[in-house]
Each structure stands twice: as C-alpha cells, then as structure tokens.
Amino acid sequence: MVGEPKRNGRSAENGDSSEEARKAADDARSAFTPPLGMPLPPIPDDEHTTSEFAVPEGLLTSPPTEFGSAFTPPEGIPKVSLIKPGAPWQDRMRTMIRMPLAERPAPERASRPEDTETGPAVPRVLDLTLRIGELLLAGGEGAEDVEAAMFGVAHAYGLDRCEPTVTFTLISITHQPSLVDDPVTVGRTVRRRGTDYTRLSAVFRLVDDITKGEVTLEEAYRRLAEMRRNRHPFSKGALTVASGTLSGAASLLVGGDGLVFVLAALGAMFGDRLAWLCAGRGLPEFYQFTAAAMPPAAMGVLVALMDSQNETKLKAAAVITGGLFALIPGRALVAAVHDGLTGFYITAAARLLEVVYLIVGIVGGVLVVLYVGSKLGANLTPDSAPGASSPLLQLLAAMLLALAFCVLLQQERHTVLLATLNGGVAWLIYGALHETEANVNAVPATVAAAGLVGLFGQLMSRYQFASSLPYITAAIGPLLPGSATYFGLLNIAQGHMDEGILNLSRAVALALAIAIGVNLGGELARLFIKSPGVETPLPGRRAAKRTRGF
C-alpha cells in the first residue's frame, strides 16, 4: 500500500514532463517562437484585428466611385445609358474606346425585334462592322472616328468585348465571347480611296441609326449596298469645271484679274483632264499629280513668254499660284495631323508619307515646266509677288473657292452653303489679322482662322449628327499656301536653293498651322460642350498618359 502512491506520483511526474517535452518540441518547430531570452508578444485585444487584409487607418473603407481607380469596385461598374437622343454617337463611343477594356462601363442596349437569347450571328456583325469602317477610312475619316463607329456598330448588335484597330490600309476587329472562349479576329484591307462626302454622310447616318437601335442587321446590309450602288452626285465634267473655278478663284485671291481668272481656270481644267487620262491608264496617284501640275505651270510660262513687262510677270505668277491651289493635299494633311494628335501614330506617319509623295509629284511637274520655260527665255522673277486685290473681291473669291471645293468633294447640297460661309469666315479672320494694320504673322493668323473653321465645323456636325469633314475640308481651301509653294519651286528651278528652301519651309509651316488649328478648334468644341444623354458621369475623352520626358 505504501508503494502505490509513489508509483502514481512518478507516473504523474512523468506525464507532466512528457507534456512539457511535447510543448517544447512544438515551440521549437514553430516559425513564430521568439528566441530564448526574448519576451513573448502581448496578446491582442478583441477589438483590434490582426488580419493582414485589414484596411490601414486613414484609408477609405469604401472604394472610390470614379473610374480613375486602378481596381474595379466590388459592387461593379455602374451602367451608363448611351442610347438616349441628344448625344452624338461619336462622343459616346469615343469615350468608350479611350477607356481600358477592364474599366469600360456596361451601357444599356436598345432592344431590337430580332434579339434572342443567342443574338445575331457574330461573323455577320463583324463583317458589317468592317464594311462600315472601310467606307469611312476610304472616305478620309480620321482613325479615331473610324474606331468609334466600328465599336458602336459591334456593341449595338450585342458584341461587348470588342477591340477595333485601324491603320492606314488595314482595319481589324477582335471579339472575345467570354473569358474562357477563344477570341475571333477578322480584318479587311482598304485598297482604294475615293472622295465622296455624300456617301460619307450616309454612312454616318447609318451608324447613328444602328446605335439608336432603329436598324436591324438585314436592313443595315441593305442600306450599305444602296450606298455602294449609288453614283457620285457630280459627274466628271462638273468636277473639271469645279477644278477650273477653284484655280480661277485662287488667282483672284493673290491679285489676279479677269484674264488671269480665265487662264488659271483653263490650265487647271487641262491638268484635271490629263490626270483623269493617267488614272484611266492605271498610273499611280503620284504620276497623276505630276501630270496635273504641268498644264497650270505651262499656262503661266506662256503668259510670261508673251511679254516681259512687270505686269505680265505678276499675271504669270498669279496663274501658276492659282493652279497649285487645287493640287495641294490639304485634306490628307489635316487627317494626318489629326491622327497624330489623337495617338494614332502609325496611321499619321503613313498619311504624312502620302502627303510627301503627292507634294513631290507636284514639285516635279512644276519644276520641269519652269526649267523649260527658263531655257526658252520666260522672265519669271521670284521677287515679283502678286499684289493684293480689294478686300471685298478677296472675300468673294474665298467663298467661290470654298464652293468649288465642295463640288470636288462630292458634298451634299445642304452642306454646301454652310461650308461656303465657313470658308468666307476663315478668310475674313485671316485677312483681319494679317492684311490689316494688325500685321500679325501669317502662321499665327492661319492657326486662328483654321481654329475657327474647326470649331464651327465641329458645331455644325454635332447639330447635323454627321461628319465634320464636309464643313471643314472645303473651308480651309482659301488658307492653303499656294504662293509660298510656287515661289519656293521657282527659286529652286532658277538655282536659288536657300530662298527656295525658305519659301517651301514657310509653305510647310502654313500647312501644319492649318492642320493644327482645325484639330484644336474641334477639340475645344468637344471640351466645353457637354453631351446630353449620359446619366453617369464618364471620365471625358481620356487621352494617353503624360510621359514627363521618359
């Protein structure tokens, strides 16, 4: 009996020692056990959490509601109504494509009669989207507006996860049905380009109706086929007469008279028919511009050969200058600068390269004729600049030039009057700044005049729900640098390289001033005019981030 308590005591002591040994072994294996001699950390209170996912003090417990956040809010991105009337589809879709795909809101979609659970066939929607983008790009529309139209059409027919891509000759669109499905990418090459603003306006109206949910897929295909079948509103003969009228009006702007008007018009019409002949033979556009530049220059050389008096030299300069106005690719230059300023650098570089090739063609044609004329004894002096006509005659000539440009661009008749008035306003602003006692330099005066052209053109397009090109391209015609181009080429033909390069540099500066002014005016119109119809505020037209020098 005496030995049992001792045996039980030893067993209890052994049990305690074994439990302590196990605890010591567990503590030794723990990665959070403090070293020997260090005190244990205090036990946290119940009201203080120790989770590593806790929100630190000073931070918001609810995520910001603006789209500038780097993360998608937990409650999701709110819906945005993009189908209400009053907001141009260009602004609605341009806002969407400038946002990253993960931050785009889920807009409401207009209900359609053919809507089912599966929706329309994806290949047909993508094909229609590419065909519409092809017509817009071939008509001279900017890359950003082409992408906005493609995104709007695809989204209107139920394809949300779409990314359109536009370059100078290739357009493509990628659609991903879901995060687990393979994406579908289709493309189309734009091989032919044509200037028909009537067709361009019809495409804009079609896109506007599609984004409003008023056109089914089959109806959209039918309307697109009708646009392709329709003839141009003006014949080749009308275009030739318009080209002559444009050159004659341009000669009046630089000091010509009635005889100069007729001679410049005849030279431009001969050049236009020669260019049509080259196009019918399949020659590239470079040689067409070279051929079109020769007859106006030859007409000026003939005028200079008839008499060597100073008055005749002035008339010859006005004839050649007027002929060059119809050939300077101002439309392509404005589109190139617009694409560059909006971040489409590949398309902008391709368009600028096209402008360079066309200008080189014009330079080559004029230089050949001027060189032959100098060998024949034509007394053309670079310092005999044409004089200025009366302000009223210049204003009427500027409006006539813009009117002729509208015919060359195949515009709709209801846009001709507004574009003509816009061209008159442009020349009025330029003359008030440069030709009066204010004596503002030609480059800033051109920027101011072109800026108003872009501003008014954008306002007119928003009012008409159409493209701004019909209201802008013709209106910048009076501002084109015809005189600087002619005198630069004449100096180079006579061996005065320094003066020639200086005049050509001035012509390039004026052309860039026109393009930048037009783009700036359009951006100001979009910046200060809020589009109605958007319930949830969007982050505007987000541009690329500033690089800050790196």
Taking only the tens place, the pLDDT of each residue in 103-146 is 665 555 555 555 545 556 888 899 999 999 998 888 888 888 88
Pair 268, 397 in one domain: yes
Residue 28 lies in a domain: no
Q: How many CB atoms lie within 10 A of CB 268?
A: 33
Lowest-confidence region among 93-107, 247-261, 471-485: 93-107
Residue 477 lies in a domain: yes
Lowest-confidence region among 57-66, 112-121, 392-401: 57-66
Average pLDDT in the chain: 76
Nearest residue to 144 via CA among 343, 351, 383, 382: 343
Pair 158, 134 in one domain: yes
Highest mean pLDDT (candidates 88-102, 311-325, 381-395, 396-410): 396-410
Pair 402, 484 in one domain: yes
Quick one: average pLDDT of 176-194? 81
Pair 294, 332 in one domain: yes
Pair 240, 290 in one domain: yes
C-alpha–C-alpha distance, residues 199 and 481, integer Å: 29
Quick one: average pLDDT of 516-528? 79
Pair 393, 521 in one domain: yes
Q: Write the CB contacts of 532 (distance below 8 Å, at least 6 apart in sequence).
A: 84, 86, 87
Q: Which domain holds residue 194?
A: 89-229
Residue 103 lies in a domain: yes
Pair 430, 485 in one domain: yes
Lowest-confidence region among 127-141, 183-197, 461-475, 527-541: 527-541
Pair 292, 416 in one domain: yes
Q: Write the CB contacts of 488 (distance below 8 Å, at least 6 apart in sequence).
A: 499, 500, 501, 502, 503, 504, 506, 507
Pair 439, 312 in one domain: yes
Torsion of CA 382, 388, 394, 398, to 10 degrees: 20
Lowest-confidence region among 35-44, 203-212, 353-362, 397-406: 35-44
Cα-based distances in Å from 127 to 154, 168, 213, 248:
10, 19, 18, 45
How many residues in the chain? 550
Q: What is the pLDDT of residue 270?
A: 92
Q: What is the pLDDT of residue 95?
A: 62
Q: What is the pLDDT of residue 128?
A: 92
Quick one: average pLDDT of 53-80? 49
pLDDT surpasses 70 at 423: yes
Residue 545 lies in a domain: no
pTM of the shown model: 0.72
Number of domains in the chain: 2
pLDDT above 70 coverage of the chain, percent: 70
pLDDT surpasses 80 at 307: no
Residue 534 lies in a domain: no
Q: Which of 171, 198, 229 is the last residue of a domain?
A: 229
Pair 260, 163 in one domain: no
Lowest-confidence region among 164-168, 262-266, 387-391: 387-391
Distance of CA 120 to the CA centre of its chain: 30
Q: Which of 229, 254, 280 is the last residue of a domain?
A: 229
- Enter the tokens of residue 156: 């209107």
Quick one: average pLDDT of 19-46? 59
Residue 438 lies in a domain: yes
C-alpha–C-alpha distance, residues 174 and 187, integer Å: 9
- Enter the tokens of residue 163: 């990314």
For 165, the enclosing helix (H) or strand (E) is strand 162-166
Pair 205, 244 in one domain: no
Pair 350, 456 in one domain: yes
Query: Exposed, middle or buried, 531 (CB in 10 Å: 0-12/13-18/19+)?
Result: middle
Quick one: average pLDDT of 270-293? 89
Residue 4 lies in a domain: no
Residue 550 lies in a domain: no
Q: Write the CB contacts of 518 (distance below 8 Å, at least 6 apart in sequence).
A: 334, 338, 450, 451, 453, 454, 457, 472, 476
- Enter the tokens of residue 6: 């001792």
